[in-house]
A and B are shown apart, each in its own frame.
Chain A
């Protein structure tokens, strides 16, 4: 039982994380382990400074907490501090995965599932080496604060990732296909999907042609659109970047037009998937937050500190990669809302453009960059040859204004490798997605 002291705000976040990794290269076992780690992150606030500690010795949390209290300065008015007043005091237990925890599935069953897919990777003779990876994670979180918050919730992802390196003559390609889900059973029966993915990689290697650099109309897949939304605008919605320079608040006033009138971007922590965060790491309940609604700047993402600084409501976006870091403002699941077209209608008006199907990575500040993996020509409204593109790039705001078509259906994606990086905190699981998105002009290189 933790004893919180008066005259300070404090909270303690613990995570009991189980993680399984099984990997094969060319059919030979490389790694098979299940790690269980328990860590805690403690915070004490005296109204002036925050004092943090990250520990693995959960038997002595009180001692660590008392050490932080000793470093801080007592403040009899701490409960009147605007940041402390803003914290929610939720008490809840939200266990979604108790009946399907990957902890309860024997490692041998996970290994057998992965092994069942490996023969599909070498059906085409151009594959010179291949890797198969099974990953899962189940976490049990508890958050307690000196204000009385006490939340327990769980989180789970599992998935498969397959990488094939292929060569034929001078042609080379390395492609990765992966599937991230929240329940182990959803990883069964993927043979046709995986076989098609490997066949497409081989087709791309054999037939792709270099792009002629220039400006073209581009159609982004839900994967590419989701990364575009995340990188181009999502990071700009993280309000902590507005704390250092007060003039930023004038530049980023809500109500300003920032994109095409058909564009709406949402961030929501309660969406199932790898960006599921029912309560953030300050104990704030998740909610649906519009960042852009119909092209208008509609909101931004907050921790308690940034919500107070900008006098806006909490959003549930104070997140830490794990219990070795303090929460900072991060996205959860970020997506573009759908429009009114189907895919054929979306590409029909394009005489000469490109369809970006999958991507390697993306980034964005005032300019954004998307590095595609699979891309195809669009010629006279039809998909054409596969093309090699290094990067798509452009001004964020100019491009947001050039979005002129959206399909109806929205696809949200989860991944089990990689994640979002922000400063020192890398690989935070986030979800993203959207409809197919048409942009009237992008710089293609």
Chain B
């Protein structure tokens, strides 16, 4: 019988912001433990909330083998790897005054906006051990600023958002960036219908396509990508990955729940235009005879299933101005677009700016974007940039149809 043992601890402190003022303070801490055992091609799982008793969980997991859940796979072999990021971003005792000072300055800089929502400090530590000698430990923190901005008097739930998630907190840099967006918000811009470079967050662009990368869906033939594994059918400029690298995704765990560690800590789906990987667990990779990309996740008491952290596209330009010189549309918020079974994508856009040479010029009226999914990955894909306009941003540019 083989065995895996995992523990995970999450701690967070979250402030609620109403009208630019902090009005609540929430503390959470949760530890979970998991034992998974494997015997005769089946899996048994047991988990608990709180500090785990490994022996008791192992007994329960053994009992769960009787359910007969097939899980034929091999555990990863011996490997010791540790990545502990224990740096304190802001002491908890200073969080309220630090953030209220930041909010006061933001309010002064952006007086026509009313700010609300959450600011949090998050910490996670994960440990994985298995009976073949693999031992992985990861910890990390981030500060997560998720501010909604209401244009006073607009009548809207919110009009735009100022967001940042990172391992550092630099209020001056954030204020400077938010102020640029604020100034553009109050400058009207217009654009005629047509085809334009559209710049948007990589997750907004590719999030709706995630199901097509799922191994089972690929194998069933129902994925728009079916039959393309190993083939170079997309743009040379496109390398698309799952970002499990703390250097670019602060706070993330560098291994998946089955103890898989990807090269560069980013499981690769598309490499320079070639579909090289799908979203797999060890089980689905084994069953479908596919390479395992190491993108499994699990609840503390559940059988591994698929997980995904955040899209990462290999940058093709150092700055936005280099990526899209000239006119482009910078999308801040879409409104629930979708893809038809035939691959046509359409989405209303709630908030977008006209951009020229990488600089925000002004706010565009509500518009619609659309195009073909395979073209987004192919001929219409322009490229990606990281760290512009903010240190945590990962933006892609694609040519799309734009209508008012």
Measured CB to CB, the residues of A under 8 A from B are: 21, 25, 28-33, 35, 37, 49-57, 71, 128-129, 165-167, 171-174, 205, 208, 210, 213, 235-236, 240-241, 243-245, 247-248, 251-252, 324, 326, 360-371, 388-391, 393, 423-424, 445
Contacts and interface: CB of A to CB of B under 8 A. Distances in A.
Give the interface residue-count category, chain B. Answer: 35 or more
Contacts of A30: 69, 303, 305
B131 interface: no
B340 interface: yes
Contacts of A71: 25
A252 B153 CA distance: 10
Contact of B50 (A57, A128, A165, A166): A57
Contacts of A166: 222
B402 interface: no
Interface string B97-118: 0000000000000000011111
A165 B220 CA distance: 7
Most buried by A among B70, B338, B345: B338
A360 B211 CA distance: 13
B150 A245 contact: yes
Interface residues of A, dominant DSSP: strand
Nearest to B337: A391
Most buried by B among A244, A324, A389, A445: A244
A165 B222 contact: yes
Given A30-B305, A366-B350, 14 more contacts: A29-B70, A35-B301, A49-B24, A129-B217, A167-B220, A174-B211, A174-B217, A205-B341, A241-B116, A243-B19, A245-B150, A324-B30, A366-B366, A369-B336
Contacts of A389: 340
A53 B116 contact: no
A391 B348 contact: yes
A172 B224 contact: yes
Contacts of B345: 390
Given A54-B26, A245-B152, A236 B341 contact: no
A198 to B, nearest CB: 14
A311 B54 CA distance: 54
Nearest to A210: B342
Interface of B: 14, 16, 18-20, 22-30, 45, 47, 49-50, 67-70, 114-118, 146, 150, 152-158, 211, 216-217, 219-224, 226, 299, 301-303, 305, 335-342, 344-348, 350, 366, 368, 370
Contact of A51 (B25, B116, B348): B25
Contacts of A362: 336
B335 A360 contact: no
7 contacts: A29-B69, A33-B301, A166-B222, A167-B220, A369-B347, A390-B340, A391-B348
B216 A25 contact: yes
Nearest to B219: A129
B335 A56 contact: no
A167 B342 contact: no
A50 B22 CA distance: 10
Contact of A365 (B26, B30, B220, B350): B350
Nearest to B211: A174
Contact of A248 (B150, B224, B305): B150
A173 B22 CA distance: 47
Contact of A241 (B67, B115, B157): B157
B368 A445 contact: yes
A393 B28 contact: no
Contact of A53 (B27, B226, B341, B346): B27
Q: Which 10 A-B pairs have the closest CB atoms?
A: A363-B336, A371-B338, A165-B222, A390-B346, A369-B336, A50-B24, A129-B220, A52-B26, A244-B114, A128-B220
B215 to A, nearest CB: 11
A87 B47 CA distance: 38
A122 to B, nearest CB: 12
Given A25-B216, A244-B20, A361-B338, A128 B222 contact: yes
A391 B338 CA distance: 7
Nearest to A371: B338
Contacts of A424: 14, 118, 146
B350 A243 contact: no
B346 A391 contact: yes
Given A33-B45, A128-B222, A174-B222, A49 B114 contact: no
A3 B348 CA distance: 53
A423 B146 CA distance: 9
B282 to A, nearest CB: 14
Contacts of B50: 56-57
Contacts of B45: 33
B177 to A, nearest CB: 21
Given A243-B116, A369-B347, A167 B221 contact: yes
Contacts of A51: 24-26
B19 A245 contact: yes
